[in-house]
Structure 1
Amino acid sequence: MPTVGVDDLTSGDFLLDVREDDEWQAGHAVGALHIPMSEFVSRYGELTEAAPQDGKVNVICRSGGRSAQVAMYLGQQGIDAVNVAGGMEAWAAAGRPVVDDKGEPGSVI
């Protein structure tokens, strides 16, 4: 499974967050697209509309397990997808901004 480290991501990279709603509401990366893994297949069209046509989809969850599964699925669909190593825990630990649903400082749960 291809992976990317948090430090290798730039602000222009496309980020797909597959955590559940309560996790997203507590804290997420600014600009990420949120489609929970539990709803992913039924909401797949949202990703195809939002993702860059020729770019990579960086998939993130809390620690990397769920995102690895979704990245593998996307790869099987012909989409260039990679798993973000360490997930949102690594994101926050690297000092990257995490915001809640109101745009205030958030936390990773």
Structure 2
Amino acid sequence: MKRQRAEREGRRGERRAELWLRAKGWSILDRRRKTPAGEIDLVARRMGVVAFIEVKWRKQAADLAFAIDEYRLRRVAAAAEAVAQDYVRDGDDMRIDVILLAPGRLPDHIVNAWQP
């Protein structure tokens, strides 16, 4: 039961992140893209940049400080590398972003969160 609730809340968080990105001029290319290396929550494009985005939703804003770590970012980066050819065109830049969400606050969009 707890797992199902967390899954529902995570999906709601991804929808909120998607709406926020669209309002900022991003086009959503894909959602919940599964790869052998892991899952990418959102793939988005804006002005020659393709962002592979990890979305984290927490009930309390204080918990967001621990929502993302090097291990998770490495998995998203590996997943992005596995499917980049499906989204990135010649001349595009590619990056890994994170969007942190909690009730009562604006999304925190961490640009280029993974730099190996």
Larger strand proportion, structure 1 or 2?
2
TM-score (norm 2): 0.35
Instruction: Return the structure number with greater relative CO, CA threshold 8 A, min gap 6.
Output: 1
Higher-Rg member (1/2): 2
